[in-house]
Amino acid sequence: MTPMQADGLLQDTLHRPLRDLRISVTDRCNFRCSYCMPKEVFDKNHPYLPHADLLDFEEITRLARLFIGHGVHKLRLTGGEPLLRKNIERLIAQLAALRTPHGQPLDITLTTNGSLLARKARQLREAGLRRVTVSLDGLDDTVFRSMNDVDFPVAEVLAGIEAARAVGLGPIKVNMVVKRGTNEHEILPMARHFRGTGIVLRFIEYMDVGVTNGWRMDEVLPSRDVIRMIRQELPLVPLEATNPGETAQRWGYAGTDGQYDPRLGEVGVISSVTQAFCHDCNRARLSTEGKLYLCLFASQGHDLRALLRGGASDAELTSAIGHIWSRRDDRYSELRSTAGATTRPRVEMSYIGG
């Protein structure tokens, strides 16, 4: 195989560049949300990865540096619940020290369920984390406790969001997975709560990630219906995307003049079921044990840990990453309606992050 160097111009077979690397740091979570880690599957006997199988912080940082050479400029730490990984602040500090080939700092963010955020927010900020995304599926405490399925109170997640804002982690985004028949009545209360706070609320269509969540199409509430519900009370105007490959369609709250009012903020909708955005997807995912996945709905990954621990040089790893991405042709969401697409094996979201 011809060696491939990093020049920042890497593209896959559909001419999509590599810009965003999502790094799962643990396969464990303290929530049991039905759409991700249902309790009947992830019970007390579930075989989590042994610690020795996980990439250590130095291995993660080394791979991140090589991905940056191929054009990555955004790193997102995920899980499981990433704040369960011991000494996660040390990894953040190592990643924050990295620079693009042009000497620019990376956009480093972290997705969390917020349960540990209040106690860790300051440490994360001091380590170099720039912003956070918090998963929150409703404000009604009964609904929220039911959806996380471990009876965790919503007030503690809200306290975590406030702690993150107080230490300067921002802009903060809040993600709400909308599941028809479960929490769609929380859409307007969530919109009212975060409007004018500077926090961007995003509504995500319930997705068929993995094979354990019992996904059904009739439980998907299309994003267009979410926007319609909000606009009945709170006027919205469409906004332009801020970056190529952005997953969310942006809508700004309108002022009394009918124009977007930045003081009121915005919402976003992620429509990966009803309006696939595969055509400009620029994201790769690195699993907890060092497998590279090229799609959230992939069934197999590429083992980079074996190369790392087998003594591969930076040049060899760089070439391997380049060849893997250059052969990529994934577009599951665009093909979801084709025969057999939704029944094929898929990796669980708790393993590679959302």
Length of the chain: 354
178-188 pLDDT per residue, tens: 999 889 999 99
Q: Which range (44-48, 62-66, 310-314) has the least confidence?
A: 44-48
In tens, the pLDDT along 49-101 reads 999 999 999 999 999 999 999 999 999 999 999 999 999 999 999 999 999 99
Q: Which two tokens stand for residue 42?
A: 């992830």
State both tokens at 115. 């349960």
Report residue 214's pLDDT band, with 50, 70 and 90 as the boundaries: low
The domains located in the chain, with CATH, are 20-352 (3.20.20.70)
Long-range contacts of range 100-105, CB-CB < 8 Å, 24 or more positions apart? 100/68, 100/73, 101/8, 101/68, 101/69, 104/73
Give the model confidence (pLDDT) of 27-45 as tens digits: 999 999 887 888 888 988 8
Residue 228 one-letter amino acid: R
117-127 helix and 88-96 helix, angle to the nearest 10 degrees: 30
Count of beta carbons in the 10 Å neighbourhood of residue 245 = 16
Does the pTM exceed 0.75? yes
Is the pLDDT at 351 greater than 80, yes or no?
A: no
Contact 291, 278 (CB under 8 A): no
Residue 352 dihedral angles phi and psi, to the nearest 5°: -120, 0
Q: What is the mean pLDDT of residues 8-32?
A: 96
The DSSP-derived string for 46-82 is --PPPGGGSPPHHHHHHHHHHHHHTT--EEEEESS-G
Transcribe 183-237 into DSSP letters.
Answer: TGGGHHHHHHHHTTTTPEEEEEE----SSSS---GGGB--HHHHHHHHHTTS-EE
Q: Over pLDDT 70: what percentage of the chain?
A: 92
Question: Is residue 307 predicted with pLDDT exceeding 70?
Answer: yes
Question: Does the CA dihedral 249-179-136-79 come out positive or negative?
Answer: negative
pLDDT at 339: 45
pLDDT given for residue 288 in this prediction: 96
pLDDT digits (tens, 9 = 90+) for 235-281: 999 999 888 777 889 999 999 999 999 999 999 999 888 877 788 99
- With cut-offs at 50, 70 and 90, classify the pLDDT of residue 119: very high
pLDDT at 195: 98
Q: Report how far residue 247's alpha carbon sits from residue 65's, in angstroms, rounded to the nearest whole number.
A: 24
d(CA 174, CA 26): 21
* Residues paired with 252 in a beta bridge: 237, 266
194: exposed, middle or buried (Cβ count in 10 Å: 0-12, 13-18, 19+): buried
Return the pLDDT at 347: 66
Average pLDDT over residues 111-138: 97
